[in-house]
């Protein structure tokens, strides 16, 4: 697993700059104003910074951009990075600037002269989020496998370090999510996934693994029927973080963890099937969020549950037309074995409510291709039975720069999943495919449970770089859920 690059916060030491190795970065305002560190670097480089500031190149640069000078005379460093940053930059702008710096940094060590910058903690968060690579399977050449450390000099280093600590917990959670989502399915099997979650007991989480015989006893036939064609056993993992009052009902997070989705007997076409290694994205976000909450010792009770299965065709696999009974008791006609995520979630969501009586429940799933047709890769689909909770989530996602867009629910859509021979069927045809999937889940939500369903098929993993992640897994949702917990479920 990749490790978060360590960031050390220190009081500014102007005399150490000349000898710093790797890269040195300074902040310059779009008007060309230098802070103390910038002025020292300008002197050491015999005016190189001032010449850059006077150039056309600088005049065209916008706040948040980086201009690099290679092998600067007067510095031991291999490069000098000039980060253009408006003094009034807000938190999101500071994060983006930090991410831009991480991109040029690559694997080098970095000394960042942050002066007395206001949003330095968010600058560090952006740096940490973007300083990510998944190179576990790249045979090592001359490249160092680990990223060089970062030292941030700041006039109030202790204050910035304290402010950055809970933010860096979010970055670490998001990196865990990305590692899980990027991992190929022959490595991240159901059992390996469960084992990685079990390791989080180190952080103070209580982690339980439910095996197939227990799931059978609980009556989770909907979940089990998805995994029964695979050589990997199905698992449900329960992670509890109890940072709140003992008698406070928890927030429940439920994740779809299909470690690979071939479609089963309703086999998917070959083209692009390899992308279905990311079909455990919902479970990945639940895991990463639990990690972040534990790392920052959130004062809230949160339980994360994931259903881990592999959807494979075989002589033992579920067939189209089969009828299964869910833990709730509802019978389901499996029209299409490729609509498996909702089968997995129905049982885990029911179990979550039955056992924990949560104050609210949020499920996350790479559930439908249709949500990508509707919203592309910019926004996750948000479905809810509770306006208040839903608005709080949308606000948290907005503040974190994670796209989220509410979609409708309603009886007319629910009518589309009526079955001829069972209580419901698992597909409603092509129209409104994401909504009928959400309606299916709604059947497993108790009347008084405030609930949000997040369809993250379009945002969990993408084919091009985003502001905060290289192409591949994004970690979408960890920051928004962490903020929602902080703003709505935490004590004091
Ligand atoms: N895992 C897929 C959805 C998906 C598609 C995720 C593309 C990420 C990218 C899901 O299990 C699925 O196959 N859904 C079907 C449902 C259909 C059979 C009703 C779909 O969207 O086509
Ligand atoms: Mn599927
Ligand atoms: Zn799937």
CB of residue 150 inside a 6 A radius of ligand 1: no
Q: Is residue 162 in a domain? A: no
Residues 70 and 208 in one domain: no
- 460-489 tens-digit pLDDT: 999 999 999 999 999 999 999 999 999 999
| Average pLDDT over every residue of 393-398 | 98
CATH no. for residue 247?
3.40.630.10
Ligand 1 pocket: which of 334, 367, 375 to mutate (most atoms within 8 A of CB): 367
CB of residue 109 inside a 6 A radius of ligand 1: no
Residues 121 and 209 in one domain: no
Q: Is residue 303 in a domain? A: yes
Cα 367 to ligand 1 centre (Å): 6
Residue whose Cα lies nearest atom 16 of ligand 1: it is: 339
Q: Does the global pTM surpass 0.75? A: yes
CB of residue 336 inside a 6 A radius of ligand 1: yes
Q: Is residue 163 in a domain? A: no
Residues 234 and 91 in one domain: no
Ligand 1 pocket: which of 223, 265, 282, 339 to mutate (most atoms within 8 A of CB): 339
Residues 131 and 193 in one domain: no
CA atoms within 13 A on the CB side of 154: 24
Cα 427 to ligand 2 centre (Å): 11
Residues 94 and 179 in one domain: no
pLDDT band at 147 (very low <50, low <70, confident <90, very high): confident
Residue whose Cα lies nearest atom 17 of ligand 1: it is: 339
pLDDT at 143: 74
Residues 420 and 362 in one domain: yes
How far is residue 224's CA from residue 332's CA, in Å, rounded to a whole number? 13
Residue whose Cα lies nearest atom 14 of ligand 1: it is: 368
- 117-143 tens-digit pLDDT: 999 999 999 999 999 999 999 998 767
Cα 369 to ligand 3 centre (Å): 9
Q: Which secondary structure element, helix H or strand E, spans residue 473, and what is its range?
A: strand 472-473
Residues 48 and 149 in one domain: yes
User: What is the full DSSP assignment across 166-218?
Assistant: HHHHHHHHHHHHHHHHHS-TTTS-HHHHHHHHHGGGGGT-EEEEE-HHHHHHH
CB of residue 311 inside a 6 A radius of ligand 1: no
Domain count, the chain: 2
pLDDT at 178: 98
CB of residue 131 inside a 6 A radius of ligand 1: no
DSSP-derived secondary structure letter, 477: T
Residue 370 CA, closest ligand 1 atom number: 21
Residues 97 and 211 in one domain: no
Q: Is residue 116 in a domain? A: yes
Q: Which ligand is nearest to the CA of 263?
A: 2
Residues 98 and 177 in one domain: no
**CA neighbor of 275 nearest in space, from 474, 2, 473, 138:** 473
Q: Is residue 184 in a domain? A: yes
pLDDT at 140: 80
- 275-320 tens-digit pLDDT: 999 999 999 999 999 999 999 999 999 999 999 999 999 999 999 9
pLDDT at 361: 99
Q: Is residue 477 in a domain? A: yes
| Average pLDDT over every residue of 64-91 | 97
CB of residue 436 inside a 6 A radius of ligand 1: no
Cα 168 to ligand 1 centre (Å): 33
CB of residue 427 inside a 6 A radius of ligand 1: yes
CATH no. for residue 139?
3.40.220.10
CB of residue 320 inside a 6 A radius of ligand 1: no
pLDDT band at 1 (very low <50, low <70, confident <90, very high): low
Cα 350 to ligand 1 centre (Å): 22
Q: What would the two tokens of residue 479 be? A: 């920051």
Cα 337 to ligand 3 centre (Å): 9
| Average pLDDT over every residue of 189-208 | 98
CB of residue 5 inside a 6 A radius of ligand 1: no
> Whole domain around residue 463: which residue ranges?
173-489
Cα 217 to ligand 3 centre (Å): 25
- 8-42 tens-digit pLDDT: 999 999 999 999 999 999 999 999 999 999 999 99
Query: End of a domain among 122, 155, 188?
Result: 155
Q: Is residue 167 in a domain? A: no
The residues that are catalytic are: 268, 342
Query: End of a domain among 124, 155, 186?
Result: 155
Q: Is residue 82 in a domain? A: yes
**Which residue's entry shows tokens 């249709």?**
370
- 328-383 tens-digit pLDDT: 999 999 999 999 999 999 999 999 999 999 999 999 999 999 999 999 999 999 99
* 145 has pLDDT over 80: no
**Which residue's entry shows tokens 């090592």?**
140
How far is residue 35's CA from residue 447's CA, in Å, rounded to a whole number? 58
Residue 279 CA, closest ligand 1 atom number: 1
How far is residue 330's CA from residue 388's CA, in Å, rounded to a whole number? 29
Q: What would the two tokens of residue 385 be? A: 């039975």
Q: What would the two tokens of residue 18 be? A: 């000349």
Residues 280 and 312 in one domain: yes
CB of residue 338 inside a 6 A radius of ligand 1: yes
* 492 has pLDDT over 80: no
DSSP-derived secondary structure letter, 16: G
- 404-449 tens-digit pLDDT: 999 999 999 999 999 999 999 999 999 999 999 999 999 999 999 9
Ligand 1 pocket: which of 222, 274, 338, 453 to mutate (most atoms within 8 A of CB): 338
Residues 295 and 406 in one domain: yes
Residues 188 and 104 in one domain: no
Under 8 Å between Cβ of 367 and 283: no
Under 8 Å between Cβ of 436 and 428: yes
* 108 has pLDDT over 70: yes
Query: End of a domain among 102, 126, 155?
Result: 155
């Amino acid at each position: 697993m990749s490790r978060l690059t360590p960031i050390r916060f220190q009081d500014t030491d102007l005399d150490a700059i000349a000898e710093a190795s790797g890269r040195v970065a300074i902040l310059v305002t779009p008007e060309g104003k230098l802070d103390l560190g910038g002025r020292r670097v300008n002197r050491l480089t015999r005016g190189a910074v001032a010449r850059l500031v006077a150039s056309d190149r600088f005049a065209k640069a916008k706040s948040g951009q980086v201009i690099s000078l290679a092998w600067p005379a007067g510095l031991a460093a291999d490069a000098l990075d000039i980060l253009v940053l408006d003094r009034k930059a807000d938190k999101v702008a500071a994060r983006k600037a930090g991410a831009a710096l991480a991109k040029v940094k690559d694997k080098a060590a970095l000394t960042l002269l942050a002066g007395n910058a206001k949003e330095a903690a968010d600058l560090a968060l952006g740096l940490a989020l973007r300083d990510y690579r998944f190179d576990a399977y790249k045979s090592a050449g001359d490249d160092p496998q680990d990223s060089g450390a970062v030292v941030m000099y700041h006039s109030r280093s202790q204050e910035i370090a304290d402010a950055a600590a809970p933010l860096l917990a979010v970055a670490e959670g998001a990196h865990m999510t990305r590692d899980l989502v990027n991992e190929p399915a022959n490595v991240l099997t159901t059992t390996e996934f469960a084992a990685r979650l079990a390791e989080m007991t180190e952080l103070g989480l209580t982690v339980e693994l439910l095996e197939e015989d227990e799931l059978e006893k609980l009556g989770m036939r909907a979940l089990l029927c998805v995994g029964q064609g695979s050589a990997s056993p199905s698992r449900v993992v329960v992670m509890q973080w109890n940072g709140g009052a003992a008698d406070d009902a928890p927030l429940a997070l439920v994740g779809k963890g299909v470690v690979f989705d071939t479609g089963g007997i309703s086999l998917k076409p070959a083209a692009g099937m390899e992308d279905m290694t990311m079909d455990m994205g919902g479970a990945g976000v639940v895991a990463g969020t639990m990690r972040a909450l534990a790392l920052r010792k959130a004062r809230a009770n949160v339980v994360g549950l994931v259903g881990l299965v592999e959807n494979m065709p075989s002589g033992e696999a579920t067939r189209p037309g089969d009828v299964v009974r869910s833990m709730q008791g509802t019978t389901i006609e499996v029209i299409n074995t490729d609509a498996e995520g909702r089968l997995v979630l129905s049982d885990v969501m029911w179990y979550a409510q039955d056992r924990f009586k949560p104050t609210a429940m949020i499920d996350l799933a790479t559930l439908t291709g249709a949500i990508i047709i509707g919203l592309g890769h910019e926004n996750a689909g948000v479905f809810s039975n509770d306006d208040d909770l839903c608005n709080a989530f949308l606000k948290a996602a907005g503040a974190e720069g994670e796209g989220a867009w509410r979609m409708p629910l309603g009886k007319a859509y629910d009518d589309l999943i009526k079955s001829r021979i069972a209580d419901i069927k698992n597909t409603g045809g092509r129209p409104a495919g994401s909504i009928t999937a959400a309606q299916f889940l709604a059947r497993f939500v108790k009347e008084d449970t405030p609930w949000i369903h997040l369809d993250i098929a379009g945002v969990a993993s993408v084919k091009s770089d985003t502001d905060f992640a290289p192409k591949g897994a994004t970690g979408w949702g960890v920051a928004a859920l962490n903020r929602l917990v902080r703003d709505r479920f935490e004590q004091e």
